Structures are given as C-alpha cells and as structure tokens.
Structure 1
C-alpha cells in the first residue's frame, strides 16, 4: 500500500473534477478524499496498491472531459491512514 498527497492545478473547479476524481478512485479501489481549495486547485489524499494508485494518478493528470489539468504536484506520505472509502470533503 502507498499513500499520496496530490495537488491539481488548472481549470479543475466548477467542471465536475472532484466527481471525476471520486469515480477514478472507485474504479481503482483507491481510498482517501478530494476537496477544492480556495486558491483554485484541487487537493486529494489517496491510498491504494501502488499499481492502481499509479493508474489513478495518470487518469487525474489526463483530466476529465471538461477540465484542463496544467500541473500535478505529488508527495508520497510514509504512513498510511487506512481510509475506509474515498469521499469528497467540503
């Protein structure tokens, strides 16, 4: 298992990006959360099997149909939170 902190830059608010992120998490059995930040970015924490987490991150980098991802900052976190699900945080 691996845990990542993710910040997504670009046109990612008001375009269904959090919903898209949640869908990608469910498809890849990723647990954690996603939320909009006041600076216009989207922040997420994601835990899962390394290969599935890599697929999840690749899909996030590609973006949803209405978004335009310009940059993704990734930071691996050494300890797991053992999230039970993936949720949207407000």
Structure 2
C-alpha cells in the first residue's frame, strides 16, 4: 500500500546539496514525490511509498542525507488523496 507524507525540514538545509542527496535516498528506497527549497530557508518534501520504505526515508532525512547539512526540526504531516508520482523530482 502506498502512503503519502509531507515533511517540512528546518536547519542548514539549503546550499548544502540537501535536495539532491534527498533525491538519491528516495531513488534508492523507491520513494516518489518532490523536494523543494522554500523562501523561509526550509525544505518541503512530498514523499509517497510503502510504509516501511517511508520510515527509512524519514529517518535518513532527519539524520541529514548530506554531511554538510544539519536538520534541527522536521514537521511531518500525513497526506490523503495525493496524485501518484512516477519518480522523485528536485523542484527549484
């Protein structure tokens, strides 16, 4: 079963390769969705996949997928009625 979540990630997450490393983690775990920088310096992630893969993905995001990044806070929101994606994309 596919689950969908939104993650709002705060910390040192812009200008450190965070979005691209997040995409690599998502691709490895077969997670679909998007990752985008936000004007307030945070990153917004929409992620879809099986519950076990999403849990691994969330853990990797919380640990910061890039060594030069730092995650201070993650707000996680379950989503319903989200259109299916076929890949994970970095959005500018």
TM bucket normalised to smaller: over 0.9
CA distance in 2, matches of 1:17, 1:27: 15
What is the TM-score with the length of structure 2 in the denominator?
0.95
SS of 1:88 mapped into structure 2: strand
2 CA distance for matches of 1:81 and 1:24?
21
Question: Partners in 2 of 1:3 and 1:75 — Cα distance?
Answer: 9
Q: 8 Å contact 1:35–1:88 — kept in the other structure?
A: yes
Q: For structure 2, which runs of at least 5 residues remain unmatched after alignment?
A: none
Pick one of 82, 87, 90 that aligns with 1:85: 87
Deviations 1:39-69 (A, max 9, x none): 0000010000000010000000000201010
Q: Where does residue 48 of structure 1 map in the other structure?
A: 49
Runs of 4+ in structure 1 off by over 6 angstroms are: none
Residue 69 of structure 2, aligned match among 59, 67, 70 = 67
Task: Report how many aligned residue pairs link the two structures.
Answer: 90
Q: What pairs up with 1:11-30 in 2 under 5 angstroms?
A: 11-30=12-31
**Alpha-carbon shift at residue 80 of structure 1 (Å):** 3.3
Cα RMSD, aligned residues only: 0.7
